[in-house]
Amino acid sequence: MGLLAIGTPLEWPEAKKVASHVRSWGIEQLLAIWRNAKGKERDALLWGDEVEYLVVCYDEKKHKVRLSLRQADILAALATDEKLLHQGGGIADAQAGTVRGNETIAPVFHPEFGRFMLEATPGKPWGIGFKDLLDVEPNMKWRRTIAKDHMEKEEYPITLTTFPRLGTPDCTTPSYPVSGPKLRSQFVPDEIANPHIRFPTLAANIRARRGRKVQVNVPVFRDENTPWPWRDPSVNYDLHQWPEDDDVRNGAVTDNYIHMDAMAFGMGSCCLQITFQAKNIEEGRKMYDQLSPLGPILLALTAATPIYKGFLADTDVRWNQISRAVDDRTPEELGEKPLKNDRWRLPKSRYASNSTYISQDPRLRREYLDPSLVIDTDLKQRLLDGGMDDLLATHFAHLFIRDPIVVFAEDLQELDLSKADHFENLQSTNWQHMRFKPPPPGSDMGWRVEFRPMEIQITDFENAAFSIFIVLITRAILSYDLNFYIPITKVAENMETAHVRDAVSTQKFYFRKNPFSERPVSRPSASGTASPVANSRPPTPVGPVEDEFELMTVNEIINGQAGSGFPGLIPLVESYLNSMNVDVETRCELARYLDLIRKRADGTFWTAAKWIRHFVQTHEKYGKDSVVGEDIEYDLVKAAERVTEFEGRDGFAAEMFGRRR
């Protein structure tokens, strides 16, 4: 989660004063990067995945599980492990005279927002080869083993998106008193966040800019015995330590919603992210646009977040909770007060679905763009004057409507155009579901695109499957020049839809009916084999935009509609694989992963959210009252560990992926 620069961070009112300064320097740095790198060509499609973990700690005697706050110790142990250092990433193997592959290069571990979190990436990027795809799962398993090896006996790296009872008393080890000066939360201590100065400053300045604590309210799931209307019983209305303690007396709590009040409730969630390096800027821009409409679909397919603060929620994914947990908008920007001091109304949080498209693609119709997109027109003009085209300038001028949140005094002395710190300040605190990443100055990296919506899955098999699927659909997109454009506002609506309980099986999403371009392409048949028939529908862009898309189930989007309807993302991937002469063995292995996606989409296999709900609702200690107590939590986390380890081979939790070999 961003670069960990050090220095003296400015507290909010001071940071606010230099916001314009930071923004204009950020734009100059962006222009410098863009000028240098716009012609950069790189090898086709390197990619990488990021897996985020929670570190849990079992207290067997008390039948209790807590979050372990030993992130720093674990990372230090990993960083000083001689054997791992020896296997360091990207080191050429002197003996063989070649660069080693990821089966021998140690993965890299990174800190994350929560002091109970870890992030791990492969030691070097994955390449273009299909065989590389088969290394992903073993590598993810290796990462988990290494992580576990550097933990205490009672600790375990678990890939649940959220810790079920985060924010209840005694949920961390060690334990700290709540209501610290940074978060001012009545549920979690300041020590819940990574102590690196960036993180507490981020949390404190978001709160200060907003003028009150963040308000992470998520609807509670109403079960048979849930009192209705439901008032979050864990809220304390009698605290008077901080001015922010008034929030709950001023309407921050809503009936029938679980109430949370700190950044940790969002950014303490784990996800699976994929980053691609494109051949060049054009390819990167195309990938950014074409993967964008897939975001909500993949969010729904990976849904894994049905519990918050010890209660069953009525939603299945983490997205909106993170969005609210970092929402720094003022009452004026939110439209609660007339605009006086702020510049504009802002319809979305800094963490939200993509706001615009950026590809100079003739198929991108003006109608797909959001007519009410808020941009900083002065900064856009500066980018245009600097030679950037309108679409890309609009994208960045939109990201730059935000204030920088963490500003270090030392960085304001002089503008260094060989760096990207001011640009990254804004870029890395705009958490949209895709991120378009210019090459870092001075590096040999190319233009990159990050796919960010997916929830972390319980097993490495599933995490590998979703990574592989995204890689293959991206290659199919580029190979067939597929067109998934729909109006960007429909993508935002889909993101909301993805929150609905069991959206995979119950909801419909806006999706483009015909993904083929004017060029005749091999259209895959239902059986997945390519048949070189030209597309029967008229090419875009003519006719009303509304005719181009319709509401589809996730099953239709992934597996295809009957007849001449949407061919389905999996059949498109199959067709691509057929065209690529993949050897039989690799093809068989890949089929196992694609099968998971296929069956998740058609409802044969459950999402983790569905499985967790079922686990809770059938637990003997569950009172059908939405409460997920300590015993249930312990058994659930243990069960998740078992699932991670056995992946259904022991017959347990086979609802999620069958009985694996």
- Which residues would be at the binding site for Mg ion (CB under 5 A)? 1, 119
Q: Which residues of 314-337 are buried (b: 16+ CB within 10 A; e: fewer)?
A: bbbbbbbbbbbbbbbbbebbeeee
Site for ligand GLU in 271-290 (CB under 6 A): 271
Between residues 319 and 634, which has the closer beta carbon with respect to ligand GLU? 319
Between residues 114 and 515, which has the closer beta carbon with respect to Mg ion? 114
Between residues 165 and 318, which has the closer beta carbon with respect to ligand GLU? 318
Residue 269 contact among ligand GLU, Mg ion, none, beta carbon within 5 to 8 Å by kind: ligand GLU
CA separation for the pair 4, 230 (Å, rounded)? 41
To the nearest whole angstrom, how small is the minimum distance from the Cβ of residue 1 to Mg ion?
5
203 lines the binding site for ligand GLU (CB under 6 A): no
Between residues 270 and 476, which has the closer beta carbon with respect to ligand GLU? 270
Contact 366, 307 (CB under 8 A): no
CA separation for the pair 369, 361 (Å, rounded)? 13
Between residues 252 and 449, which has the closer beta carbon with respect to ligand GLU? 449
Choices 264-272, 283-291, 332-340, 372-380 (CB under 6 A): range interacting with ligand GLU = 264-272
Residue 322 contact among Mg ion, ligand GLU, none, beta carbon within 5 to 8 Å by kind: ligand GLU
Size of the site for ligand GLU (CB under 6 A): 8
454 lines the binding site for ligand GLU (CB under 6 A): no
328 lines the binding site for ligand GLU (CB under 6 A): no
Between residues 2 and 386, which has the closer beta carbon with respect to Mg ion? 2
To the nearest whole angstrom, how small is the minimum distance from the Cβ of residue 107 to ligand GLU?
16
Instruction: Give the H or E element holding residue 432.
Output: strand 431-432
54 lines the binding site for ligand GLU (CB under 6 A): no
- State how far the alpha carbon of 315 is from the alpha carbons of 29, 325, 378, 633, in Å: 40, 16, 40, 18
269 lines the binding site for ligand GLU (CB under 6 A): yes
- The SS3 assignment for 9 reads strand
1 lines the binding site for ligand GLU (CB under 6 A): yes
Site for ligand GLU in 13-52 (CB under 6 A): 52
To the nearest whole angstrom, how small is the minimum distance from the Cβ of residue 238 to Mg ion?
37
β-partners of residue 575 are: none
Site for ligand GLU in 387-446 (CB under 6 A): none
Residue 470 contact among ligand GLU, Mg ion, none, beta carbon within 5 to 8 Å by kind: none
327 lines the binding site for ligand GLU (CB under 6 A): no
To the nearest whole angstrom, how small is the minimum distance from the Cβ of residue 112 to Mg ion?
5
Contacts of 206 (CB under 8 A, 6+ apart): 214, 263, 326, 327, 328, 405
Structure tokens at 41: 């060509």
Structure tokens at 527: 């059986």
CA separation for the pair 485, 454 (Å, rounded)? 20
Between residues 51 and 632, which has the closer beta carbon with respect to ligand GLU? 51
Between residues 226 and 427, which has the closer beta carbon with respect to Mg ion? 427
Structure tokens at 336: 């609660």
Find, among 9, 200, 1, 191, the residue nearest to 111 by Cα: 1
Find, among 593, 622, 612, 620, the residue nearest to 655 by Cα: 612
Choices 268-276, 297-305, 308-316, 534-542 (CB under 6 A): range interacting with ligand GLU = 268-276
β-partners of residue 82 are: none
- The SS3 assignment for 57 reads strand
CA separation for the pair 584, 586 (Å, rounded)? 6
Between residues 271 and 590, which has the closer beta carbon with respect to ligand GLU? 271
CA separation for the pair 494, 511 (Å, rounded)? 9
Between residues 109 and 485, which has the closer beta carbon with respect to Mg ion? 109
Label the pairing between strands 92-93 and 98-99.
Answer: antiparallel
322 lines the binding site for ligand GLU (CB under 6 A): yes
To the nearest whole angstrom, how small is the minimum distance from the Cβ of residue 473 to Mg ion?
22
For residue 489, the Cα-to-chain-centroid distance in whole angstroms is 19
Choices 254-262, 269-277, 373-381, 403-411 (CB under 6 A): range interacting with ligand GLU = 269-277
Structure tokens at 162: 């959220």
- The SS3 assignment for 615 reads helix
Instruction: Name the DSSP class of 543.
Output: S
| Contacting positions for ligand GLU (CB under 6 A) | 1, 52, 267, 269-271, 318, 322
